[in-house]
Structure 1
Amino acid sequence: MNAIISASDLATALAGEAPPVLLDVRWQLSVAKAAGEPSFDGRAEYAAGHIPGAVFVDLDRELAGPPGAGGRHPLPDLEVFGAAMRRAGVSAGRPVVVYDGGQGWAAARAWWLLRWTGHPEVSVLDGGLTAWEGPLSVEAPSPEAGDFRPAPGATGLLDADGAAALARTGVLFDARAGERYRGDVEPIDRVGGHIPGAVSAPTTGNVAADGRFRPADELAARFASLGASGGTEVGVYCGSGVSGAHEVLALAVAGIPAALYVGSWSEWSSDPERPVAVGPDPQ
């Protein structure tokens, strides 16, 4: 199963004899979260209309642990995550498709977690709900419980030390906006800037104006121009491990495996002993 799926292909799959499990992960980062307030989680929008059969998944509560020393969106408790996936009908032998409102960040976080914990067939709806032209439903389904049991380690995961090392020996992409990478502004975290040696690669460069991913060859060329080619080990971080998952997804579309530093800048910058670089990318 490909990392992304078009709306037309999803419609065909849902009409088939063995449709995929469908997860709605609408969510939007709120800068107020830095003050302890919750992000917008899309639950009301889900209730107002979702792709038929989709089950709502709460990013803040089911795809992340409580904010703390590990960042704003640390890894979730695997028992909580596994229970949420089984409640949604996720099983190891059945494909899963994840979507959000269109930005792709939240859907990519769910995609990455399922892949990291061993699910073999997970796709993100390219362009999210805005790309869907089929009917919507206001009925919340009650799927048969799935059998998925998270087995972490199927894909790459970085901690702070691993990210720092990769910035020296491979390529570590910073998926945030360029102004946050440079340290011009920092609306959420303790200090602006980036991990020394990291390369600026904003997620906005991975998608076209309609929010869909650029073709695989264009993405491969983009990442090659930033140093990710020839078997180089690649990692990604962002603010709190959400938009960084979107960059890992873009790299997967380009055929480039990459690890995710889940704690990301929210964890890194919380420790005043860790070094901070500012200014433009030296490349």
Structure 2
Amino acid sequence: MTAIISVPALASDLAGSAAPVLLDVRYKPGDPPGLPAYQKGHLPGAVYVDLESELAGRPEQGTGRHPLPPLEVFGDAMRRAGVTTGRPVVVYDAGGLGGGWAAARCWWLLRWAGHPEVRVLDGGLEAWQSYRDPETGEALPISTETPELGAPPGRRLGDPGDFTPSPGRMPTLDADEAAALARRGVLLDARAAERYRGEVEPIDPVAGHIPGAVSAPTTENLTDAGTFRSATALAERFEALGAGSGTEVGVYCGSGVSAAQEVLALHLAGIEAALYVGSWSEWVADSRRPVATGPERG
């Protein structure tokens, strides 16, 4: 099963008898939570999940900005949204260029926690709203109705889910492991190239990159339409960066969110990669850790 689903394929699945659970996880760094935007319009049957409070834990001294959420918090959020082990899940965010970060974070967390069938809507909400039926020219529906738990059986997502997280199903790295991997394998830095080089740092207190890491911005995983590039194109991209199918690969970003999109892109290319969840924000929380700047790996 591929880790992404196209808009027409999802529309077909939603019209069938075995519709997936839909999770709306739209999120933009520095913006308010996405709930008000969700309430103004979302895919029919989708349940909103908040990245900051349900897909991440509370930052503490020495952690990154988006540490893993407590299992009970994540599990409660997934069950509230109707997630069950035996039913497929599709996750989406706002989409567009540079999109897929939040959806991929939820995809990664569910896979890490043991859910067997999770996909990201390719292109997100923007792709859904832009799509037109090739025969009728009609747009796909958008809803302002919030699904209610305990609703009649005919109403999708009416019942709470039973998903219980069983963590450890996706590889992770801590700071020491990321440093070591940067030397023996390939550690990809998913942030914008200027942040990698240390020319700007709009969020974290120190600019630069982990010594030995390779710059690999997430924007280059997408087409101009905001959908993922083909598996072949992604494989060629990562091969050029030194991350082939036989290479040990890890990924980090600023706080562990956009790096999940890179892990997803690598997965589509047939390359499995470990996620450094703490990422740069955790790395620079310890002033003893080295920092490299400039275009070279360091």
For structure 2, list consecutive stretches of 5 or more residues without a partner in the other structure: 132-139, 149-157
> 2: CA distance between counterparts of 1:115 and 1:21?
15
Kindly indicate whether residue 98 of structure 2 is the aligned counterpart of residue 98 of structure 1: no
1:83-107 deviations in Å (ceiling 9; x for gaps) = 0000100011110000000011000
CA distance in 1, matches of 2:296, 2:76: 42
Task: Give the whole-Å Cα distance in 1 for the aligned partners of 2:220 and 2:127.
Answer: 19
Displacement over 3 Å in runs of 4+? none
TM-score norm. by structure 2 comes to 0.91
Q: 2:122 aligns with which of 119, 122, 126?
A: 126
| Residue aligning to 2:144 | 138
1:174-253 mapped onto 2 (5 Å cutoff): 174-253=189-268
Alignment partners' CA distance in 1, 2:245 and 2:201 = 34
- Deviation, 1:281, is 2.9
CA distance in 2, matches of 1:101, 1:221: 27
TM-superposed deviation, 1:230: 4.4
**Match of 2:216, as an amino acid?**
A
Does the alignment pair 1:63 with 2:69? no
Paired residues, what number? 275
Residue pairs, 1:64-83, within 5 angstroms:
64-68=56-60, 69-83=62-76
Look up the match of 1:34: none
| Unaligned segments of structure 1, at least 5 residues | 31-38
2:22 is paired with a residue whose SS is strand
The 1-side partners of 2:178 and 2:33 are apart by 29
2:106 aligned to 101, 106, 110, which one? 110
- Contact residue 211 and residue 297 of structure 2 kept, 8 A: no
Alignment-derived partner of residue 287 in structure 2: 272
* 3-state SS in 2 of match to 1:255: coil
The alpha carbon displacement at 1:282 in A equals 4.5
CA distance in structure 1 between the partners assigned to 2:168 and 2:285 by the alignment: 26
Structure-1 separation of matches of 2:297 and 2:159: 53
Equivalent residue for 2:77?
84
Cα distance between partner residues in 1 of 2:179 and 2:214: 12
Name the SS for the 2:108 alignment partner.
helix
Larger radius of gyration: 2
Equivalent position SS for 1:14: helix
